[in-house]
Amino acid sequence: MGIADDAVEIRAHGWRTLAALHGIIESALEKDLSAEVGLSVVEYTLLDALNRQDGWHMRMAQLARATALSPSATTRLVSRLEDRALLSRVLCADDRRGIYTELTHAGQQLYRKAKPIHDATLERVLKEAEQQPELAPLARILPQFPSA
Amino acid sequence: MGIADDAVEIRAHGWRTLAALHGIIESALEKDLSAEVGLSVVEYTLLDALNRQDGWHMRMAQLARATALSPSATTRLVSRLEDRALLSRVLCADDRRGIYTELTHAGQQLYRKAKPIHDATLERVLKEAEQQPELAPLARILPQFPSA
DNA sequence: GCGCATTAGTTGCGTGTGCAACTATTTAAC
DNA sequence: GTTAAATAGTTGCACACGCAACTAATGCGC
């Protein structure tokens, strides 16, 4: 097996590690967030994205990108959260095709309640992953990225 | 904002990067694999796991772990592949609750056809990700894990 | 201005998913 | 041995997802 073949296998192995760690983190977050505040991971991700904009609004396409969801899934996700009065759709004047979304007060409150749970679970799961040889290399490196 | 708070934010940022890269890779693999060989990503992952056992069989729970799927989803995934005659269920004698699965000849053939596509797409997507500042740190590190 | 391609977002539809409840088998208790 | 607890896998069900087709608004060519 030559060097090029090795590279292929190492990439594949890295991808399996990435997928495994992703699955573990996501299901742990899903479990805790839904139990404590009734939010799924994508729902939290969307609230988090809106909140990091700090009062500013985002368009559907930006939300789709932030959540790694299709346009149709984003529409329904926003609709669900709007039905729960956590955010509101706002037509934007300059481009009447576009739709802005912004957090309501209730949405901000729920986000502030959810964030500590999210962060604690993430910390716990990463610590656990560091103990597993298969996941450790990735889990250890994750908190060392440029804070941007 | 203190050091502990920074750590929380850096972890969260790392998780967002991980999730973003995961989404990009998965959707690219999904697109190419389904177009070229009619396999979804989880289907390929399962065939790959079975193949890496090199002729040996795996139990449902092991497959569930390898694919990061629930027991019920694993049951249906295996059923789909069995219906397509890519693998076969084998009752195991010593524990009659357990079920082994093993690749059929057609399954091995399809896997060998799918693997180059999978590997090429993975290489391409990782190269693209290295160009994006948000993803680059993770994309560059991924192929540097212990080959194990 | 007028028509055509493009973009933003939404809906119909089929499908894969997790949870909870279930059956079947094994293991432990005594 | 008989009964209870635990484990392996499967099914009913509700729901979130992506794709393709759609509507509405914008921008571009001329």
- Confidence class of residue A5 from pLDDT cuts 50, 70 and 90? confident
Q: Which residues pair with B103 in a beta bridge?
A: B87
- Answer yes or no: are the C-beta atoms of A136 and A129 closer than 8 Å: yes
Cβ–Cβ < 8 Å for B42, B77: yes
Report CA torsion sign: A39, A42, A45, A51. negative
Q: Identify the residue with better confidence: B144 or B27.
A: B27
Q: What is the CATH number of domain A3-135?
A: 1.10.10.10
Number of Cβ within 10 Å of residue A99's Cβ equals: 18
Q: Is B84 helix (H, G, I), strand (E, B) or coil?
A: coil
pLDDT at A148: 53
Tell me the residue type at B84. Answer: R
Note the ipTM here: 0.93
pLDDT cut 90: percent of chain A above it: 86
Distance of CA A113 to the CA centre of its chain: 16
pLDDT at residue number B103: 96
Q: Residue with structure tokens 């180059």?
A: B116
Tokens of A66: 């932030």
CB B89 within 8 A of CB B99: yes
Inter-residue contact A135 to A125 (CB < 8 Å): no
Q: Residue B1: its pLDDT value, please? A: 60
Residues 127-146 of chain B with CB under 7 A from strand C are none
Q: How far apart are CA B63 and CA B61, in angstroms?
A: 5
Residue A87: helix, strand or coil by DSSP?
Answer: strand
Residue with minimal CA–C1' distance to D24 is: A97
**pLDDT confidence tier of residue B147, bands split at 50, 70 and 90:** low
In angstroms, the CA of B62 and the C1' of D9 are apart by 12
pLDDT at B3 over 90: no
Distance of CA B32 to the CA centre of its chain: 14
If you average pLDDT over residues A9-13, what whole number do you get? Answer: 96
Model confidence over B4-16: pLDDT tens digits?
Answer: 778 999 999 999 9
Give pLDDT tens digits for A48-71.
999 998 767 899 999 999 999 999
Instruction: For residue A86, name the pLDDT band (cuts at 50, 70, 90).
Output: very high
Q: What does the pLDDT read at residue B6?
A: 87
Our CA-based measurement puts residue A121 at a distance from the nearest CA of chain B, in whole angstroms, of 11
Mean residue pLDDT across chain A = 94
Tell me what the mean pLDDT of segment B120-141 comes to.
Answer: 96
pLDDT digits (tens, 9 = 90+) for B30-45: 999 999 999 999 999 9
Lowest mean pLDDT among A35-39, B5-9, B142-146: B142-146
Q: What pLDDT shows up at residue B55? A: 67
pLDDT tens, residue by residue, A68-83: 999 999 999 999 999 9
Using the predicted structure, report yes or no on whether residue B148 has a pLDDT greater than 60. Answer: no
| Overall average pLDDT of the B109-125 stretch | 98
Considering CB atoms only, which of A6, A119, A134 is closest to B12? Answer: A119
CATH architecture of B3-140: Orthogonal Bundle (1.10)
Q: State whether A6 and B143 contact (CB < 8 Å).
A: no
Taking each helix axis from N to C end, the angle separating A41-52 and B3-37, rounded to the nearest 10 degrees, works out to 120
Measure CB to CB from residue B14 to each of A26, A133, A145 and give the nearest one. A145
Give B119 or B56, the one with higher predicted confidence: B119
Nearest to B138 among A24, A145, A148 (CB): A145
Average pLDDT over residues B9-29: 97
Backbone angles phi, psi at A94, to 5 degrees: -75, -30
Q: Do B119 and A19 lie within an 8 Å CB cutoff? A: no
Q: Which nucleotides of chain C are near protein (any atom < 7 Å from a CB)?
A: 7-12, 16-20, 24-27
- What pLDDT does residue A147 have? 60
Determine if residue A14 is left, alpha or beta; phi over 0 gives left, psi from -120 to 50 gives alpha, anything else beta.
Answer: alpha
d(CA A87, CA A105) in angstroms, rounded, equals: 8
pLDDT at B96 > cutoff 60 = yes
Q: How confident is the model at residue A92 (pLDDT cuts 50, 70, 90)?
A: confident
